Amino acid sequence: MKRFINTADAPAAVGPYSQAVEVAGTLYISGQIALDPHTMKIVEGGIQEQTEQILKNIGAILSEAGYEYSDVVKSTCFLSDIANFKAMNEVYGRFYAVNPPARSAFAVRDLPMGVLIEIETIAAK
């Protein structure tokens, strides 16, 4: 059985998708961009500020679903420019300092709303 997760503490879906879906103890979080959930505007600043906001949004969804950052098993990071990898990694490492999840990170041609990064996440109990 699927459980659909929705919280006002993360950006509302801007298309036909759910913030997250849980199936059999696994939580699939849709790709998150650096939207402030209260204003639905992209946060000001560069890659570090955007990464920080995304990981906070992911944290809100995890919490709503009854998960924690320590339950994350896989992240996929889509970067608009691979040159931003090091700066993104510095912020990302603060959220996953101990036993970090598996991760892929790569550059893509374009991201929604002109953001610098998008992160999708899988967590499991």
Q: How crowded is residue 99: how many other Cβ atoms within 10 Å of its Cβ?
A: 7
- Name the residue type at position 88: M
Nearest to 113 by CA among 36, 23, 18, 19: 36
> According to the CATH classification, is domain 2-124 in 1.10.10.10?
no
Residue 38 has pLDDT above 90, yes or no: yes
Task: Provide the pLDDT for residue 14.
Answer: 83
> Average pLDDT, stretch 7-25?
95
The pTM for the full model equals: 0.96
Tens digits of residue pLDDT in 62-104: 999 999 999 999 999 999 999 999 999 999 999 999 999 999 9
Q: How crowded is residue 105: how many other Cβ atoms within 10 Å of its Cβ?
A: 17
